Amino acid sequence: MGARQVGKTTMLKQLFSGQPGVLWLNGGELEVRSLFENASTKRLQAVVGQNNIVVIDEAQRLKNIGLALKLFTDGIADVQLIATGSSSFDLSNQVNEPLTGRKWQYSMFPLSFIELCDHHGLLEERGLLAQRLVYGCYPEVVMNPGDARALLTEIADSYLYKDIFQLERINKPDKIVKLLQALAFQVGSQVSYSELGQMAGLDNKTVERYIVFLEQCYVVFRLGSFSRNLRNELKSSRKIYFYDNGVRNSVISDFRPAEMRSDIGALWENYLVSERQKHLAYSGQAPNSWFWRTQQQNEIAYLEEGDGQLRAYEFKWNPAANVKLPKKFLEAYPGSTFAVISRDNYEEFLGV
């Protein structure tokens, strides 16, 4: 699973290049979609033939994909099945008998800081930090920095909303664009569905539904508020981040250099939180993640809890910024750790 244009198809083609017995089915082709509309084990077996690996690319575009995968799993022996999708299709809910225990699900994101360090080296990648904050880490953008703006505009205009429109049959795409613009301007701040609705011309329930679709298509993700011990902690707030800084900036058509940005704090926070999510996913870690805030405006940008340890982080672009853990948090959660992540020390936080 992963957003469009992050390299899912390219990766699989490289993995299986020159390997015999591989059948490649593209969910975007009419003939393939027709095959899956009335799928049966016998019919699928005839299509598979003597191949022992089946790749179903863009599986989210196929009707009854969950049933088809179940038929493959139950009825066709000794076949390795791989499906890719750019919008979350929950296979377990699409079939009568869940595939629990018979499938592995992986997420793929725009290039991660670790991957880029492996390729360029840490020193060179550190030197490109300002560029990453503005243009993000989509593979085509990274490989063609001179065309970054045009490529991001193409990604946003041609790919970003495609699955959302298909999922919901949305006939007013301008509302989605306005919602994304509203989210882009509020990165790093807690968001109100009511306020977002006013900005985008949508009611609260529609705003929430569209945000869920944007999450399912790997455009944005939500971070909830942490609440446990204090009465005045915010209990149902949320922040919303973009998986890629370049997409965020493309939505609002702002590609000014990092040193000229009044929103550098928001860009830095979005970059760190999204890169942290990539690192946790790829390393197999699964801590709970939140932000923390009280009604008196005491705030911590990011929290994680894993193995009984609560870790608090603040994000500051300026390494000289003086930040302390709020006293009320420390009193309520003794034993918590605290770190300030700046551009001087961010590598370890992102897994290097």
The confidence score (pLDDT) of residue 288 equals 92
pLDDT at site 103: 80
95 Cβ contact list (under 8 Å, min separation 6): 66, 67, 69, 70
Task: Give the model's pLDDT for residue 111.
Answer: 97
Its sign, for the CA torsion 74, 75, 76, 78, is: positive
Per-run averaged pLDDT (10 residues), the chain, 352 residues = 92 92 92 85 89 91 81 85 78 51 86 97 97 98 96 85 66 81 93 91 90 89 84 73 97 96 97 97 92 85 92 95 88 92 97 92
Q: Nearest CA to 345 among 309, 311, 321?
A: 321
Q: What pLDDT sits at residue 92?
A: 44
Give me the pLDDT at residue 179, please.
92
> Which domains are assigned to the chain?
8-94 (3.30.370), 113-349 (1.10.10.10)
72: left (phi over 0), alpha (psi -120 to 50) or beta: alpha
Residue type at 7 in one-letter notation: G
Query: What pLDDT, on the 0 to 100 scale, is given for residue 89?
Result: 57
Q: Which of 264, 282, 326, 291 shows the shortest CA–CA distance to 113?
A: 282
